[in-house]
Amino acid sequence: MHRSNTCGELRISDAGRTVTLAGWVQRSRKMGGMTFVDLRDRYGITQLVFNSENDQSLFEAANKLGREYVIQVTGVVAERSNKNSNIPTGDIEIIATGLKILNKSDVPPFTIEDETDGGDDLRMKYRYLDLRRPAVRKNLELRHRMAFEIRRYLDSKGFLEVETPVLIKSTPEGARDFVVPSRMNPGQFYALPQSPQTFKQLLMVSGFDRYFQIVKCFRDEDLRADRQPEFTQIDCEMSFVDQEDVLQMFEGLVKHIFKYVKNIDFTEPFPRMTWADAMRLYGSDKPDTRFGMEFVELKDLTENSGFAVMDDAPYVGAIVAPGCAAYTRKQLDKLTDFVKRPQIGAKGMMWVKLETDGSVKSSVGKFFTDDQLKGWLERGNARPGDLMLILAGETMKTRKQLCELRLEMGSQLGLRNPQEFSCLWVVDFPLFEWDEETQRYYAMHHPFTAPNPEDVDMLDSNTGEVRATAYDMIVNGNELGGGSIRIHDSELQDKMFRLLGLSEEDAQYKFGFLMNAFKYGAPPHGGLAFGFDRFVSILAGLDSIRDVIAFPKNNAGRDMMIDAPAEIDDSQLDELCIKVDIDEK
């Protein structure tokens, strides 16, 4: 046996016991005739003491230990005189009587501690060392706990976990597919699934009734912000359900996770908001509802002022930042610069202050009377000391800009506490999204989403206005997951493909298997998928999903540790009948 106990286990009640521990040398300190070593494993840190008076040669051996050496130590548990209340084992130490070096270590490229001196790239290259840091390990422990609780909840509700294939057919719709050449079928390619969408629907046709899978999905996108080319979904599907059944079931899942993993009890139903309201009040289909600051529309109050910025704009919208009338010129200029950044793209920002004495001050005071300005403030329920920030322009664009400004103000005012959780459903998404560039409709969710039964008559006449039976779960301004009730009728599915500009041949080629399946008794069904990495990062209070993935890729899609992607041998290429021709430009 290598060890009798772990490094996180021993307490004062173990004093006097002879034990054997094994682990990594976190650090050692020599103080006169004594050497103290912090020994680390997954479970914690225990202090070892090597005393020259007890055993001179053991003491000398201990002084030769380097950082990250793997050692086995035998000794007696003793009460510490100098207790450390920061760690659970801080009341004891091990008076060493034996030491065996199990393996040496090179000096690690960064310190293996929560506060490390290693930069991002270095830590990614040596991810196996980064994973030794308790802060990183904790995230993976949380991930495990969540996966376990997800399976426990879904199993208790009769869901079956079924694996679906990873080598499938390319059906580009939405993101770009990763493809894999087939050696046995020269010139042909598999694709990696963007999600198991069609397979889970086929499982419903097969009568599986309730399916789930914690599953890897692959999307070859430019890695904006916080995306990974491979990520994990909690993918679910149910038969004989309508939207309400699905929302209840998976609201239950989210509440279960919060309760059993975070000890947070959500007793009230999660609020629901239509997509149209979310856009109108927050300028986003994933509003951060940890704070209010909802949009106020001012267009009707600003007309015919002679101020072209507002007169010419179809939309004038504002937020009221509580207590911010004291903002200085400099702070306001900074906010203007913020909304003018190319990523946000506003042309400028206007403001009105309701001073604590009730007077008003505004950047557009030249064009409006105080009474007019007070009318705006009133509509925004502003109180003395509040600041109104206003943007004007094209409706959807300006709402998105105002959304960024609102989030920025939320951050500045400390209203976005990562340890506070605000969940809601956004429902009634539009079925289609019009794309100016290609002059065609795209499915807002995906082509299998059913239209709202009330709107089916408008499919041809008023396509853009048709609502989908689709829903998203939002937590703290993040899309945690989303799904829809599906089309289960081959004729309607056919029509949907046509509206999306797919020819009959195209639809047959890409989705023939599904259309065929629908001819053999497809039950009504629906489901959703949660982004598992995102779910873990939200519960961990982290901004990045990278920190909750054991071996993530960087922003260029590279695995810095194994150095992938990489070129392959000519012989491999030959076998695949592939010639590489990299265009120099």
Structure token pair of residue 488: 């289960």
**Could you tell me the smallest distance in angstroms from the CB atom of residue 197 to ligand ASP?**
4
* Contact call for residue 527 and ligand ASP (CB under 6 A): yes
**Could you tell me the smallest distance in angstroms from the CB atom of residue 31 to ligand ASP?**
58
Measured from each CB, the residue nearest to ligand ASP is: 195
Q: Do 183 and 575 touch, CB atoms closer than 8 A?
A: yes
Q: Which of 26, 139, 284, 484 binds ligand ASP (CB under 6 A)?
A: 484
Cα 319 to Cα 306: distance, rounded to the nearest angstrom = 23
Give residues with Cβ within 8 angstroms of 157, minimum separation 6. 210, 249, 252
Nearest CA to 173 out of 508, 525, 502 is that of 502
Number of residues that bind ligand ASP (CB under 6 A): 8
* String of DSSP letters for 486-544: BP--HHHHHHHHHHTT--HHHHHHHHHHHHHHGGGTPPPEEEEEEEHHHHHHHHHT-S-
Q: For ligand ASP, which stretch binds (CB under 6 A), given 207-215, 334-342, 360-368, 476-484?
A: 476-484
- Restricted to residues 346-405, the positions that interact with ligand ASP (CB under 6 A) are none
Q: Which of 193, 317, 380, 483 binds ligand ASP (CB under 6 A)?
A: 483
Residue with tokens 């042309």: 347
End-to-end CA distance of the chain: 61
458: which DSSP letter? G
Residue 504, burial from CB neighbour count under 10 angstroms (0-12, 13-18, 19+):
exposed
**Could you tell me the smallest distance in angstroms from the CB atom of residue 144 to ligand ASP?**
23
Q: For ligand ASP, which stretch binds (CB under 6 A), given 47-55, 144-152, 482-490, 510-518?
A: 482-490
**Could you tell me the smallest distance in angstroms from the CB atom of residue 342 to ligand ASP?**
29
* Contact call for residue 474 and ligand ASP (CB under 6 A): no
**Could you tell me the smallest distance in angstroms from the CB atom of residue 482 to ligand ASP?**
6
Closer of 380 and 483 to ligand ASP (Cβ): 483
Closer of 174 and 557 to ligand ASP (Cβ): 174
Closer of 275 and 315 to ligand ASP (Cβ): 275
Cα 265 to Cα 507: distance, rounded to the nearest angstrom = 46
Closer of 214 and 578 to ligand ASP (Cβ): 214
Structure token pair of residue 88: 């659970």
**Could you tell me the smallest distance in angstroms from the CB atom of residue 22 to ligand ASP?**
44
> Site map for ligand ASP, 240-279, x if CB under 6 A?
----------------------------------------
User: Exposed e or buried b for every residue in 65-96, given b needs 16+ CB within 10 A?
Assistant: beebbbbbbbbbbbeeeeeeeeeebbbbbbeb
Q: For ligand ASP, which stretch binds (CB under 6 A), given 50-58, 105-113, 275-283, 477-485?
A: 477-485
Cα 92 to Cα 348: distance, rounded to the nearest angstrom = 62
**What is the Rg, in whole angstroms, of the alpha carbon atoms belonging to the chain?**
30
* String of DSSP letters for 343-405: TT--S--EEEEE-TTS-EEETTTTTS-HHHHHHHHHHTT--TT-EEEEEEESHHHHHHHHHHH
Give residues with Cβ within 8 angstroms of 198, minimum separation 6. 448, 511, 513, 514
Closer of 93 and 177 to ligand ASP (Cβ): 177
**Could you tell me the smallest distance in angstroms from the CB atom of residue 321 to ligand ASP?**
35
Closer of 26 and 484 to ligand ASP (Cβ): 484
- Restricted to residues 184-223, the positions that interact with ligand ASP (CB under 6 A) are 195, 197
Q: What share of the chain is helix, strand, coil (3-state, %, to 5)?
A: 30, 25, 45
> Site map for ligand ASP, 485-514, x if CB under 6 A?
------------------------------
**Could you tell me the smallest distance in angstroms from the CB atom of residue 448 to ligand ASP?**
7
Structure token pair of residue 235: 């993918």
* Contact call for residue 529 and ligand ASP (CB under 6 A): yes
Q: For ligand ASP, which stretch binds (CB under 6 A), given 275-283, 324-332, 524-532, 543-551?
A: 524-532
Alpha-carbon distance values, 187 to 79, 218, 575 (Å): 71, 22, 11
Helix 134-156 × helix 243-262 angle, to 10°: 140
* Contact call for residue 232 and ligand ASP (CB under 6 A): no
Closer of 173 and 559 to ligand ASP (Cβ): 173
- Secondary structure element (H or E) that encloses residue 475, with its range: strand 470-475
* Contact call for residue 528 and ligand ASP (CB under 6 A): yes
**Could you tell me the smallest distance in angstroms from the CB atom of residue 229 to ligand ASP?**
15
Phi, psi angles (nearest 5°) of residue 510: -85, -40
* Contact call for residue 324 and ligand ASP (CB under 6 A): no
Residue 437, burial from CB neighbour count under 10 angstroms (0-12, 13-18, 19+):
exposed
* Contact call for residue 477 and ligand ASP (CB under 6 A): no
- Residues in touch with ligand ASP (CB under 6 A): 195, 197, 482-484, 527-529
